[in-house]
Amino acid sequence: MTCRLPLPIVGRPEAALAPRGDVSAKLAGSGVIIVGHGTADPVGAAETRAVGRLVAALLPGVPVEVGFLEVIGPSIPDALAALAARGCRAAVAAPLLLFTAGHARRDIPAALAAGGQAAGVAILQAAALGCHPRIVDLARRRRREAVRGRDAVPAAASGLVMIGRGSSDPLALRQLLEFTGATFAAGPDACPHDLECAGVGFGFVAAAEPRLAAALAAAAMGPGVRRVVVQPHLLFRGHVEDQVAAAVATARERHPALEWIVASRLGADPDVAEVLVDRIAEALSSP
């Protein structure tokens, strides 16, 4: 049986968010479409919609719609049609994607162009979440939460495996490496203060190397290792998280002497919504 992680909708409630009047003013007469990847997992879909509600709370008076690239609706064209029905003739598209890879560079722009033309809405696409400091800090927080309350393990006996979804885009590994490096940057919240870690490995669930199983096996074979922390760099719950959980369960069976810890996905945290609004503001300010 696959064990799923709990739904991490945490942090400030919508009512506690400070509205971004500066961004709302720049969006006068325009709307926002939050672009989700799409998943058949109802919790993952709910998390995407929850982020949409948080963005709407941050941008009072601005029409905000959520559209999905695939699997479920409303589709991107449907969401743009909804914005048009609300009086918008222009919109900023904010991709709910961790990195700028294949979907952000090809699939989403194509869907936005087609949907925008059909709805009569001009589209400006914002950047992916990337290495925004709030996302880096959120990943650190998830790692701290994973090891909180556990016995201390010497640095030489501890390892970290960062897991990405995977992409055929060659930027996938480079971006995951960059992001992981940012989480270890010096500062009061730097990860070495929370997770004593001597070695860092990387793995992907699909379409890129090294694969997940190989990364876990390599971490288990580290000299003197006693603990392996696995951190899936994922936004929402779905099939990929299930695959990570199953792979860790297999690794635990093969290496029962090791302590295996899985950090939670980022989830529908208010910081994710704050970053989307920052990315929207950046797009509006670009020449």
pLDDT score at 13: 52
- Give the CA count within 13 Å in the CB-facing half-sphere of 50: 24
Question: Are 77 and 110 in contact, with CB atoms under 8 Å apart?
Answer: no
Task: Pinpoint the residues of the chain covered by CATH 3.40.50.1400.
Answer: 14-130+268-285, 133-262
Please tell me the CATH code under which domain 14-130+268-285 is placed. 3.40.50.1400
- Label the pairing between strands 259-262 and 64-68: unpaired
pLDDT of 11 reads: 45
| Burial zone of 222 (CB within 10 Å; 0-12 exposed, 13-18 middle, 19+ buried) | middle
Q: Which two tokens stand for residue 169?
A: 């885009």
Is 241:5 a contact under the CB 8 Å cutoff?
yes
Question: Which residues are CB-neighbours of 259 under 8 A, at least 6 positions away?
Answer: 150, 153, 226, 227, 228
Give the rounded distance of the alpha carbon of 243 from its chain centre. Answer: 17
The pLDDT of residue 113 is 96
Angle (nearest 5°) at CA 13 between 12 and 15: 115
Per-residue pLDDT of the chain (287 residues; tens, 9 = 90+): 233 343 444 444 555 789 999 999 999 999 999 999 989 999 999 999 999 999 999 999 999 999 999 999 999 999 999 999 999 999 999 999 999 876 667 889 999 999 999 999 999 999 999 999 999 999 999 998 999 999 988 878 889 999 998 877 777 778 888 999 888 875 555 544 444 565 789 999 987 888 999 999 999 998 889 999 999 999 999 999 999 999 999 999 999 999 999 999 999 999 999 999 999 999 999 87
Give the pLDDT of residue 67.
98
Burial label, 271 (beta-carbon count in 10 A; 0-12, 13-18, 19+): buried
- Is-cis flag, bond preceding 74, omega within 30? yes
How distant, in Å, are the alpha carbons of 85, 234, 249, 261 from that of 79?
A: 10, 24, 39, 39
For residues 243 and 122, give the distance between their C-alpha atoms in angstroms, rounded to a whole number.
38
pLDDT score of 186: 57
**pLDDT of the residue at 193:** 40
Q: What pLDDT is stored for residue 14 in this prediction?
A: 56
Given the candidates 3.40.50.300, 3.40.50.720, 3.40.50.1400, 3.50.50.60, the CATH classification of the domain at 133-262 is: 3.40.50.1400
pLDDT value at position 104? 66
